[in-house]
Amino acid sequence: MATDRYEHHDYFLLDELLTDEHKLIRDSVRKWVKQSLSPIIEDCAQQAEFPAHIVKELGNIGAFGPHIPAEYGGGGLDHISYGIIMQEIERCDSGIRSTASVQGSLVMYPIYRFGSEAQKQKYIPKLGSGDWLGCFGLTEPDHGSDPAGMKSHYVDKGDHVVLNGSKMWISNAPLADVAVVWAKNEEGVVHGLILEKGMEGFSAPEIHNKWSLRASITGELVFDNVKVPKENILPGVKGLKGPLTCLNSARYGIAWGAIGVALDCYDTALRYAKERKQFGKPIASFQLQQKKLAEMITEITKAQLLTWRLGVLQNEGKATPAQISMCKRNNVEMAQKIAHDARQMLGGMGITGEYPIMRHMMNLESVVTYEGTHDIHLLITGMDVTGENAFV
- Which residue among 90, 117, 371, 388 is the active-site one? 371
| Least distance in angstroms from the C-beta of 136 to ligand FAD | 5
Q: Is 266 in the site for ligand FAD (CB under 6 A)?
A: no
Q: 94, 232, 330, 366: which one contacts ligand FAD (CB under 6 A)?
A: 366
Site string for ligand TGC, 320-349 (x = CB under 6 A): -x----------------------------
- Judged by beta carbon distances under 5 to 8 A according to partner kind, the member of ligand TGC, ligand FAD, none in contact with residue 375 is ligand FAD
Contact 10, 40 (CB under 8 A): no
Residue 74 and residue 76: Cα distance in Å, rounded?
Answer: 6
Question: From the CB of 294, what's the least distance to ligand TGC, in Å?
Answer: 31
Q: How far apart are CA 335 and CA 363, in angstroms?
A: 11
**What is the C-alpha separation between 285 and 147, in angstroms, rounded?**
51
Residues contacting 93, CB < 8 A, separation 6+: 37, 41, 45, 215, 356, 359, 360, 363
- Interacting stretch for ligand TGC, rule CB under 6 A, among 25-33, 62-70, 133-141, 357-365? 133-141
- 362 lies in the binding site for ligand TGC (CB under 6 A): no
Q: Which stretch binds ligand FAD (CB under 6 A): 55-63, 158-166, 299-307, 365-373?
A: 365-373
Query: What does the alpha-carbon distance between residue 242 and residue 189 come to, in Å, rounded to a whole number?
Result: 11
Nearer to ligand FAD, 146 or 156 (CB): 146
E-state strands within the chain: 134-137, 153-156, 160-171, 178-184, 190-196, 202-203, 218-229, 277-278, 281-282
88 catalytic, yes or no?
no
* Per-residue contact string for residues 138-157; x = within reach of ligand TGC by CB under 6 A: xx-----xxxx---------
Closer to ligand TGC at the Cβ: 292 or 377?
377
For the beta carbon of residue 53, count every other beta carbon within 10 angstroms.
Answer: 10
Q: What is the DSSP string of 104-119?
A: IIIIIHHHHHHS-HHH
| Site membership for ligand FAD, residue 204 (CB under 6 A) | no
Of 166, 369, 381, 382, which lies in the binding site for ligand FAD, with binding defined by CB under 6 A?
369
Q: Are 232 and 181 in contact (CB under 8 A)?
A: no
**Contact region with ligand TGC (CB under 6 A), list: 78-86, 114-122, 222-230, 372-380:** 372-380
